[in-house]
Homo-oligomer: A and B are copies of this chain.
Amino acid sequence: MSQARIRVAVAGASGRMGREVVKMVLADPELELVAAVARSTSGIDAGRMVGVEACGVEVTQDLELALVESKADVLVDFTAPQSAASNTRLAIRHKVRPVMGTTGFTPQDIEELDKLCKENGIGGLIAPNFSIGAILMMKFAAQAAKYMPHVEIIEYHGDQKLDAPSGTSIKTAELISQVRGELRQGNPKEEETIEGARGGYYDGFRIHSVRLPGVFAQQEVVFGAFGQTLKIRHDSYDRAGYMPGVAVAVKKVMTYEGLVYGFEHIMD
């Protein structure tokens, strides 16, 4: 297949996620890096910046200029919430499909950007989570809860994390909550001899947050029923684990029109 490669521009290229995106695009034979934009770093070769060999694409500072000159098909943006909506608008106006790994969109933003995508005949994606494994875990958890409504979530993160429970565990809890009927689990007369032992309460079930050094991000959703348990567990070892999801998104966004919110909706 001598199919043309997809032309990819990366915004936020010098950030922790942006660097991984640059590396991934350079390594994927179906993708071609055509622009790398970063506020602070500029002038250096994008390949060199991420520790691989030079690729001939210089890091620049002006996103609009980069999108126009590079004739990019897709923009992958891991910048900041403040610039998310405006960068998306900019990309769509130049018919560059946005793949946004940034949060900070209001429902109004999403509605407007979806309309804009359709007017321009292109697809777009906003995804707070690009980890295929994590998304499958959440999807399966929601499916299982219909049949095995008794469930608890145990999530593990590094011991310096500030908030508990994790965003992913709350998202999972919401999805479970939507599919099962009202159910307050456990013995109504249950008593904690050490306060908090039973975890955080969420709509009838419990979330437990473990914090230990050496752990990056792990979650286990455990379902219990008469004579059996079902566990769905995702272990994320590092930031690079999100890249296969970004690669899928870049390819998929070429195939539809309109703006999709949530990576799970572009999975078949």
- A133-B223, A199-B209 known; A237 vs B237 contact (CB < 8 Å): yes
The answer to whether B136 and A164 have CB atoms under 8 Å apart is no
How far, in angstroms, from A238 to B148 measured CA to CA in the complex?
A: 17
The answer to whether A229 and B200 have CB atoms under 8 Å apart is no
Chain B residues whose C-beta falls within 8 Å of the C-beta of A239 in the assembled complex: 227
How far, in angstroms, from A199 to B228 measured CA to CA in the complex?
A: 25
The answer to whether B200 and A196 have CB atoms under 8 Å apart is yes
Q: Please give me the residue from chain B that is nearest to A24 by CB atom.
A: B226
Task: Give the number of times this chain occurs in the complex, counting copies.
Answer: 4
How far, in angstroms, from A133 to B215 measured CA to CA in the complex?
A: 14
Looking at chain A, what size class is its interface with the partner chain? 35 or more
Q: Which of A172-229 contact B (CB under 8 A)?
A: 185-187, 189-202, 206-216, 222-229
How far, in angstroms, from A119 to B2 measured CA to CA in the complex?
A: 55
Q: What is the minimal beta-carbon distance from A264 to any residue of chain B, in angstroms?
A: 11
Chain B residues whose C-beta falls within 8 Å of the C-beta of A233 in the assembled complex: 230-233
Tell whether A240 is near chain B: CB-to-CB under 8 Å. Answer: yes
Chain B residues whose C-beta falls within 8 Å of the C-beta of A195 in the assembled complex: 196, 200-201
Chain A residues in contact with chain B, CB under 8 A? 131-134, 136-137, 139-140, 143-144, 146-148, 150-152, 154, 156, 159-165, 170, 185-187, 189-202, 206-216, 222-244, 248, 267-268
The answer to whether B199 and A207 have CB atoms under 8 Å apart is no
- A193-B164, A198-B164 known; A211 vs B226 contact (CB < 8 Å): no
Q: Please give me the residue from chain B that is nearest to A136 by CB atom.
A: B144
- A164-B192, A210-B152 known; A237 vs B227 contact (CB < 8 Å): yes
How far, in angstroms, from A230 to B241 measured CA to CA in the complex?
A: 12
Q: What is the minimal beta-carbon distance from A45 to any residue of chain B, in angstroms?
A: 20
Q: What is the minimal beta-carbon distance from A245 to any residue of chain B, in angstroms?
A: 9
